[in-house]
Amino acid sequence: MSKTRKLLVLLVVLLLAATLVLTSCKGGKAGNVIKIGYTAPFTGSAAEFGTNGWRGVQLALEEINAAGVKVGNKTYNVEIVRYDSKCEPTEAVANMRKLALEDKVVGVLGDHCSSCCRGIAPLATEYKIPSITIECAADNVTSPGQEYYFRMRPSMGLMAPLAAPKILDLTGAKRVGYLGVNDDYGRSFNKSFQDQFGPAGAKTVAEIYFERGNTDFMAFLNQLKAAKPDIVLYVGTASEGAMILKQAQEIGITPGIKFVGSEEMGEMELVSLAGSEAVDGTYAVALWGAVASDFEKKVKDKFNAPMHYAIIFGYDALKVMVDAIQRAQSLDTVKIKDALLATDYAGLEGQIKFETFEGFRNQGRYTPSFIQWKDGTREAM
């Protein structure tokens, strides 16, 4: 190869390298990186939560890094360090320790499973790492709560008083059965609604729990059939809910008995897994009614996926964390925590603030939606 040709090749290589550097550092200079952790179930029976949460986080990350995060006289990019919790508390705790002690993150998003959130919340305070759960619903995640742990969405104890009257008005139920996953989430869901239904005259006639990942619900459904409830509240993942509805249809207890699902049962995954025939006529307490069409289009274009509440909450969680960093004008985690306490942010889910009230700490207020499935589509009620 001639000397001139060698110089041309070297020049092309250098130009390509420079282009790559400029692309990777869009919004901020090389080396100016803010690390934020994310612990979520990306595998296992609860993988739908982490998969959808990560979609929302990615969309927010693209927008944030396109503009850059300005702290002092520097512009930063955000880097997400994520680990799989598998919806196992021991895994989530290990992830939190690694994020705090090894990765040196300034904030953490996650987890999605209530038992995991309960495990990492005390560590957030111990390590002074401000953390926002994406979606954990059990009351005891923020009641009594931790100084460094925040929740945007309502707990079940906050949702049930708003949803229960709607359920009773629509169904006229006097006898209620419960079928839930045997963890903090499932038990919190059931207790919260029992506390509302009981004083209203709706009697509990069956309360049944299953282990996460279960696929055979026939024995449980036959117990419910024998108890003759007017409605059944069921809670778990969309895949568990789909199996429940399909098997309920097989033994003929639907549509006679009305099924009312947790928030997972208000998502399109339920229809794709169970089919519209098994789902139609059922209800769900939902975390969203509608989002802006341009955001829904972004989700469809980028992931070829339907909207999901975890996408909304994942997007908002990262935006809120970065908003706090910019208002703190510091990467000091104590100052970021203090800025989170002063949050007043217009998110996809509504206005986001963190308050202390009625035994809750760093808790958001949010009004749930209520939907019914008709012809394979979700209809807000």
For residue 349, the model assigns a pLDDT of 85
pLDDT in tens, 219-240: 999 999 999 999 999 999 999 9
Which part of the chain has CATH 3.40.50.2300? 24-153+292-363, 157-286
Run of H or E including 89: helix 89-101
For residue 366, the model assigns a pLDDT of 82
| Banded model confidence at residue 167, pLDDT cuts 50, 70, 90 | very high
Q: What is the average pLDDT value for the chain, to the nearest integer?
A: 91
pLDDT in tens, 340-374: 999 999 999 889 999 999 999 999 988 888 999 99
Determine phi and psi for 370, rounding to 5 degrees. -135, 125
pLDDT in tens, 265-302: 999 999 999 999 999 999 999 988 888 999 999 999 99
| Banded model confidence at residue 151, pLDDT cuts 50, 70, 90 | very high
State how far the alpha carbon of 35 is from the alpha carbons of 81, 103, 104, 324, 359, in Å: 7, 8, 7, 14, 32
Cα–Cα distance measured from residue 378 to residue 369, given in angstroms and rounded to the nearest whole number:
11
Helices (H) then strands (E): counts for the chain: 13, 17
Determine phi and psi for 113, rounding to 5 degrees. -100, 135
For residue 10, the model assigns a pLDDT of 43
Cβ–Cβ < 8 Å for 262, 190: no
State how far the alpha carbon of 277 is from the alpha carbons of 213, 219, 300, 377, in Å: 23, 22, 25, 11
Cα–Cα distance measured from residue 358 to residue 361, given in angstroms and rounded to the nearest whole number:
9
Cα–Cα distance measured from residue 185 to residue 266, given in angstroms and rounded to the nearest whole number:
16
pLDDT in tens, 90-133: 999 999 999 999 999 999 999 999 999 999 999 999 999 999 99
| Banded model confidence at residue 2, pLDDT cuts 50, 70, 90 | low
Cα–Cα distance measured from residue 64 to residue 57, given in angstroms and rounded to the nearest whole number:
10
Run of H or E including 131: strand 131-133
Run of H or E including 124: helix 114-127
CB burial readout 69-94, b (16+ within 10 A) else e: bebeeeebbbebbbbbbbbbbebbbb
Q: What CATH class is the domain 24-153+292-363?
A: alpha beta
State how far the alpha carbon of 347 is from the alpha carbons of 60, 291, 323, in Å: 11, 11, 11
pLDDT in tens, 199-209: 999 999 999 99
Average pLDDT over residues 171-182: 97
For residue 347, the model assigns a pLDDT of 95
Entry pTM: 0.85
pLDDT in tens, 333-343: 999 999 999 99
Lowest-confidence pick of 13-17, 249-253, 261-265: 13-17
* HSE toward the beta carbon, residue 167, CA cutoff 13 A: 32
Extended beta strands in 240-376, E state? 258-261, 283-286, 345-347, 350-352, 355-357, 360-363, 369-374
pLDDT in tens, 7-60: 444 443 343 333 333 333 344 455 799 999 999 999 998 999 999 999 999 999
For residue 240, the model assigns a pLDDT of 96
State how far the alpha carbon of 127 is from the alpha carbons of 115, 140, 241, 303, in Å: 19, 20, 37, 35
Q: What CATH class is the domain 157-286?
A: alpha beta
CB burial readout 309-333, b (16+ within 10 A) else e: bbbbbbbbbbbbbbbbbebbebbeb
pLDDT in tens, 304-337: 999 999 999 999 999 999 999 999 999 999 999 9
- Residue 241 reports pLDDT greater than 70: yes
Residue reference for tokens 């598998």? 86
